[in-house]
Copies of this chain bind each other. A is one copy, B any other.
Amino acid sequence: MKLGILGGGQLGRMLLQAAGNYTLETFVLENDTTCPAAHLCHHFTLGDIRDFDTVYAFGKQVDVLTIEIENINIDALFQLQKEGVKVIPSPEAIAIIKDKGIQKQFYADHHIPTAPFVLTDNKTAIEANVDFLPAANKLRTGGYDGKGVELLFGANDLPRAFVEPSLLEKMVDIKKEIAVLVGVGIDGATVVYEPTEMVFDPKLNLVDYLIAPADITSEQIKTAETIALHAVKALQSPGLFAVELFLSANDEIVVNEIAPRAHNSGHQTIEGNLISQYDMQLRIFQELPLGLPTNRGFSAMYNLIGEAGSQGHTIYQGLDKALAMEGVFVHQYGKSTTKPGRKMGHVTIVENDKASLLEKLSMVKRQIHVIGDKTIAL
């Protein structure tokens, strides 16, 4: 089978590592020959994933076409699907998800619990809704990795509001952030991973670390899994989806957003589960059984982010200490240069008891630092 991937970042890299377990001919499209996934495929194409002709020509070569980022030319995906290429996830699902306004409206239309929201075409519309604050102001398209989100607590924050089409989402008093991976086969079969718990770095608005399984009640697990499965089923698309949920202070569970692909919140499944999120994608693409992705004990995932104060050639400090500990795995993303806030890798820790897991996590966080070889102003 010929598998095409739009985007050559770390998600593509890890997918291609897993793809080596199967008989797949792999294709990657990305506008950078040194991107993390470029050297792990059979055929690399240099080109812009946002350009119709480029994506169309790339997609015509393959049997299954997938994405590792939503910011792709979706018209080309619709055309390719019409011409018989299996696009997974479906262009329809990507279209719903890549515009956060349409995504929110989709939740409302399908009775999927989510925080109240107002769609805003411009800054004037936001100003007219000052009574709706405090709210998260989210760009409808183009946001990623914490970019494209501003927290507006009141009128004083309006200068930071977006001028582009965006939405205001009522701020949830968050007790925990939870993620649930859901796999959907081409035949409609589904599989749900046990919920994980994400802890965010408030400065970078990126997942700082993650614990699996989430420390929530069995009732909450059931509710989170039910909501996630319902939301993903409503998309009516095969694929692997990451559903991010909020557990609010008053114990309500609402959908934050869905990623129609492998996700940062699922990296720990490589070592922490019997089926990784990448292997699950490959099973779906090949119409193999989805299987049982049972957790293998406790696991934690810690993002390695380029630190403030330096950039340039990437240096990973402290690996010698971290990798001496039992059950600690590193994933370097192969990005030759770092800058503050850039995702440069992650560490997964597996353990049989949670206390040891948290202890090792805290050591890893102290030990590993990703810096560049050039000092810059803080």
Tell me whether B334 and A288 are in contact (CB under 8 A).
no
Tell me whether B320 and A289 are in contact (CB under 8 A).
yes
Q: A14-B20, A39-B41 are in contact. List 6 more A-B contacts (CB 8 A).
A: A16-B40, A21-B332, A274-B326, A289-B323, A291-B325, A292-B327
Q: Given A274-B326, A288-B323, A291-B323, does the pair A331, B40 have CB atoms closer than 8 Å?
A: no
Tell me whether A323 and B20 are in contact (CB under 8 A).
no
Tell me whether A288 and B320 are in contact (CB under 8 A).
yes
Tell me whether B331 and A21 are in contact (CB under 8 A).
yes
Closest to A13 in B: B20
Tell me whether B323 and A21 are in contact (CB under 8 A).
no
| A296 on interface, CB distance cutoff 8 Å | yes
| A156 on interface, CB distance cutoff 8 Å | no
The smallest beta-carbon distance between A96 and chain B, in angstroms, is: 30
The smallest beta-carbon distance between A347 and chain B, in angstroms, is: 10
* 23 residue pairs from A and B, CB less than 8 Å apart: A13-B20, A16-B40, A17-B18, A17-B21, A21-B330, A21-B331, A21-B332, A22-B330, A23-B314, A23-B316, A23-B334, A39-B42, A274-B327, A274-B350, A288-B319, A288-B320, A289-B320, A289-B324, A291-B328, A292-B326, A292-B327, A294-B327, A296-B296
| A26 on interface, CB distance cutoff 8 Å | yes
| A283 on interface, CB distance cutoff 8 Å | yes
Expressed in whole angstroms, the Cα–Cα distance for A39 and B24 within the complex equals 11
| A329 on interface, CB distance cutoff 8 Å | yes
- Measured between beta carbons, the chain B residues less than 8 angstroms from A350 are 274
3 tightest A-B CB contacts, nearest first: A289-B324, A292-B326, A17-B20
Tell me whether B20 and A334 are in contact (CB under 8 A).
yes
Closest to A329 in B: B21
Expressed in whole angstroms, the Cα–Cα distance for A292 and B350 within the complex equals 13
The smallest beta-carbon distance between A321 and chain B, in angstroms, is: 8
Interface size on A (CB < 8 Å)? 38
Show the binding face of A for B, using Cβ within 8 Å. 13-14, 16-18, 20-23, 26, 39-42, 274, 283, 288-289, 291-292, 294, 296, 314, 316, 319-320, 323-332, 334, 350
Expressed in whole angstroms, the Cα–Cα distance for A20 and B9 within the complex equals 12
- Measured between beta carbons, the chain B residues less than 8 angstroms from A20 are 13-14, 16-17, 40, 334
- Measured between beta carbons, the chain B residues less than 8 angstroms from A334 are 20, 23
Expressed in whole angstroms, the Cα–Cα distance for A283 and B17 within the complex equals 18
- Measured between beta carbons, the chain B residues less than 8 angstroms from A320 are 288-289
The smallest beta-carbon distance between A36 and chain B, in angstroms, is: 8
> Which of B17, B283, B316, B331 meets A323, CB within 8 Å?
B283
Closest to A324 in B: B289
Closest to A292 in B: B326
Closest to A22 in B: B332
- Measured between beta carbons, the chain B residues less than 8 angstroms from A23 are 314, 316, 332, 334
> Which of B26, B291, B325, B330 meets A326, CB within 8 Å?
B291
Expressed in whole angstroms, the Cα–Cα distance for A20 and B323 within the complex equals 16
Closest to A334 in B: B23
Expressed in whole angstroms, the Cα–Cα distance for A332 and B20 within the complex equals 8
Q: Which of A283, A291, A328 has the most CB of B within 10 A?
A: A291
